[in-house]
Amino acid sequence: MGQGRSLYAVGILCRRYSKIYASAEKAVEDIPAGSTVLFGGFGLCGIPERLIDAIADNKGIDKLTAVSNNAGIDGVGLGKLLNTRQIKRMVSSYVGENREFARQYLGGELELELVPQGTLAEKVRAGGAGIPAFFTATGFGTAIQHGGTPIKYGVDGVAVIEAAPREVREFSGRNYLMEQSITGDFAVIKAWKADELGNLVFRESANNFNGPMATAATTTIAEVEEIVPVGALRPSEIHVPGIHVHRIVENRECNKRIEKLTVRADDESEAGLAPAMLKRIRIIKRAAREFKDGMYANLGIGMPMLASNYIEPGITVHLQSENGILGLGPFPAKDHVDADLINAGKETVTVLPGGSFFSSDTSFAMIRGSRLDLTILGAMEVSQTGDLANWIIPKKMVKGMGGAMDLVSAANTRVVVTMDHCSKDGSPKILKQCALPLTGLACVNRIITDKCVFDVVPGRGLLLRELATGVSVADVKSATGCDFEVDPDASETY
């Protein structure tokens, strides 16, 4: 025989050094206090809930730095570890609707390092690839570049730890920020299937952050729904090779929760809707006219996503979702809801024939690489030069930037904002300068409101292109916080 190991010897080796653990408790028991732990999942989709429960039950595993896109919801997922005060610092892109997360941060009980979602995914991917740092256009001109965003508040509401500024470098005429990569002591992730060697397969949109997190830790612990024998998985279907996975725990009775159960309406009539909703539908219908046949587009949470309901017949638009889907379809019927299939708003969705699933780092590579033709998203404020603010009201409301900073930083992607023209108190939301922290600098191409459509013309400012039915130029001027030009052909179009 030659010098190489026989298949029989490899099989013996696999059995002797098994990666399979009998319980989640055993798999996590040696995580030391103060560890940096990378957690997979997006919202509640693809979270390693049994492993999180085991950590919550072991009070010696505390003072953690938890790296995760978000922290679940109150009392569920990482929300459970927030409740038990086992997390010292969160490194995340999104706080979302987790009230306890926001309360602990604003109250000075929890450190929070907010990172744009695509940057977070790339920091982890690069860390797993042995790359210590990289440059990205995401966040240039914002608090990410300048630093100063509170990481921890004192009891008096004053920041005692602040984010550091980033190094800026110019490449080919564009400005980029240097971001340092992330690695963890442990990664705690969820997969659909594993074989005994630790090769992993994810199901639908439950890939998300699980894939990159698996590669970037000294020890990766995978919770899986089924462990299969070596050879049962085709090499072509494996998403994460077993070289990255050190421990496997089977959980055949996982409780897959749905954060936002959303189903197709039986009656989509507008009759009887409240005036506020009719106003939103006016904006949504106008936004739907931005779609062109064959486009690749990303739609933000809320009004932008609803624009997909009004795509004109005969037009094909390929919708992308940041959490790892291309080819989004309509909301599902009640009997076709799937907890592993959600969009970036954590809503249940479907996928059209020809659609695909992929990890969060791959998703944002598409976004930063300007593969999308169009992104539509909401705003709190927009300036006359196209600056956008939509992620935080300091000391009051912290949602996080999610993927918005990455979406608006793509060099060749058209950015359209849909928004109410004025706040609830009647104050303008389109201003000479944004008062809130920026999401992007000079990034907006078009603004669609309940009153009009503005284009942002570089070097000139706002140009009024269209009016909503029953709205005059004088009405727009009285509701807008900056000067603008009027297109001679501007008229009521929607």
Catalytic (active-site) positions: 322
- Report d(CA 193, CA 75) in Å as an integer: 26
Which residues does residue 222 pair with via DSSP β-bridges, in sequence order? 189, 248
**Residue 204 gets which letter from DSSP?**
G
Q: At what angle do helices 360-368 and 117-128 cross, to 10 degrees?
A: 120
Element (H, E) at 105: helix 99-106
Question: How many degrees, rounded to 5, is the angle at CA 92 between CA 88 and CA 94?
Answer: 125
Question: DSSP labels for 450-484?
Answer: SSEEEEEETTTEEEEEEE-TT--HHHHHHH-BS--
Exposed/middle/buried for 247, CB within 10 Å: 0-12, 13-18, 19+?
A: buried
Copy the structure tokens of residue 489.
């052909």
Return the closest-CA partner of residue 92 out of 100, 101, 103, 83. 101
113 close to 152: Cβ distance less than 8 angstroms = no
How many CB atoms lie under 10 A from the CB of residue 375? 26
How many CB atoms lie under 10 A from the CB of residue 23? 13
What distance, in Å, lies between the first and last C-alpha atoms of the chain? 79
